[in-house]
């Protein structure tokens, strides 16, 4: 059973005299997003994790996400004036419905399923791949819409993970085509590109942004700036505790709120640039087990933790 490390009541401060001017958002590079995640999942598996077989499958899945990018049809963004109106009203520029009828999203799902041939995967996932290949387009499209709405049928968890993986490819490509300068803040806990929930946040060490925090969208991989000490669930700024697991990675913590009893992972890329918000969220599952056992609830979303 995992045990808590020594909780910290405050984040590490910025260096004295350091001035950071972070942008509101950073749009994703699809190829970099998926290849980086694949490498990180493989590295986490090599560290002797009990989750190694699943981490290796996720590494292969992310490699597959990257491999299909080149042959996919072009995405169709909402009209420029519609995107502008959305931002003017504090709304995300990309919609969160209607993918069941989106030919490019369906083609992405089909390409992912086809490209998984020969990939070693859990038996339940292989069975789901087989079922999905035989299913009609309406069924696959419905799964994409469910994944976009963050709805999960307990009887279709493996199918939903695969749909979410296809959705990540589609939404990351959509986000990459936006004009970052036209994005507006939706909320601290919502992606300005697609409105999605964060998978985790990261304290970065990038030039001009050093020691500032960015949330990463679980679906489209857009990053957006949020102040360092703030509960993403309820907005509380007082008494937040930063938990870790004894013997675990000290650069992966959970920002835990005493007011709403929720938590969101935070990774310190300023100390270890290899950390990836999505991959290290999965790799630190022991921290979730610890905190949920103490009555805390997870606020953030990770489609690769469906069923855990």
Return d(Cα 40, Cα 45) in angstroms, integer: 9
User: In this structure, what token pair is assigned to residue 260?
Assistant: 């709403």
The CATH number fitting domain 46-177, selected from 1.10.260.40, 3.90.1010.10, 3.90.1670.10, 3.30.450.20: 3.90.1670.10
- Is the pLDDT confidence value at 1 over 50? no
pLDDT greater at residue 1 or residue 177: 177
Give the phi and the psi of residue 122 in degrees, each rounded to 5: -60, 150
Q: Does domain 182-305 have CATH number 3.90.1670.10?
A: yes
pTM of the full predicted structure? 0.93
What is the domain partition of the chain in residue ranges?
Answer: 46-177, 182-305
Pairing of strands 262-268, 198-203: parallel
Alpha carbons within 13 angstroms on the beta-carbon side of residue 199 total 24
pLDDT-derived band at 203, boundaries 50, 70, 90: very high
Predicted confidence (pLDDT) per residue in 77-135, tens digit: 999 999 999 999 999 999 877 888 899 999 999 999 999 998 999 999 999 999 999 99
Identical fold between 46-177 and 182-305: yes
Predicted confidence (pLDDT) per residue in 157-189, tens digit: 999 999 999 999 999 999 999 999 999 999 999
Pairing of strands 213-217, 25-26: unpaired
pLDDT at 154: 84
Residues 6 or more apart in contact with residue 273 via CB below 8 angstroms: 205
pLDDT-derived band at 4, boundaries 50, 70, 90: low
């Amino acid at each position: 059973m995992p045990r808590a490390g020594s909780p910290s009541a405050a984040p590490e401060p910025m260096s004295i005299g350091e001035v950071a001017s972070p942008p509101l958002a950073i749009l994703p590079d699809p190829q970099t997003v998926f290849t980086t995640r694949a490498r990180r999942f493989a590295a986490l598996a090599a560290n002797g994790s009990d989750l190694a077989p699943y981490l290796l499958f996720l590494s292969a899945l992310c490699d597959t996400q990257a491999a299909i990018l080149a042959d996919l049809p072009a995405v169709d963004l909402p009209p420029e004036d519609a995107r502008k109106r959305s931002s003017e009203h504090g709304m995300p520029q990309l919609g969160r419905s209607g993918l069941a009828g989106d030919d490019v999203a369906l083609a992405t799902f089909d390409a992912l399923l086809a490209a998984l041939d020969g990939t070693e995967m859990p038996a339940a996932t292989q069975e789901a791949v087989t079922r999905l290949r035989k299913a009609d387009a309406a069924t696959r499209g419905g799964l994409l819409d469910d994944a976009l709405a963050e709805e999960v049928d307990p009887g279709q968890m493996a199918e939903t993970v695969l749909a979410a993986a296809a959705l990540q490819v589609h939404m990351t490509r959509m986000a990459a085509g936006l004009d970052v300068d036209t994005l507006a803040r939706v909320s601290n806990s919502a992606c300005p590109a697609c409105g999605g929930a964060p998978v985790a946040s990261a304290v970065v060490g990038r030039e001009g942004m050093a020691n500032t925090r960015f949330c990463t969208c679980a679906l489209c991989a857009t990053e957006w700036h949020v102040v360092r000490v703030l509960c993403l669930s309820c907005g509380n700024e007082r008494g937040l505790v930063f938990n870790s697991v004894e013997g675990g990675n000290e650069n992966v913590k959970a920002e835990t709120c005493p007011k709403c009893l929720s938590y969101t992972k935070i990774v310190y890329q300023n100390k270890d640039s290899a950390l990836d918000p999505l991959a290290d969220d999965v790799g630190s599952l022991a921290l979730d087990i610890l905190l949920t056992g103490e009555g805390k609830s997870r606020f953030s979303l990770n489609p690769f933790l469906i069923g855990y």
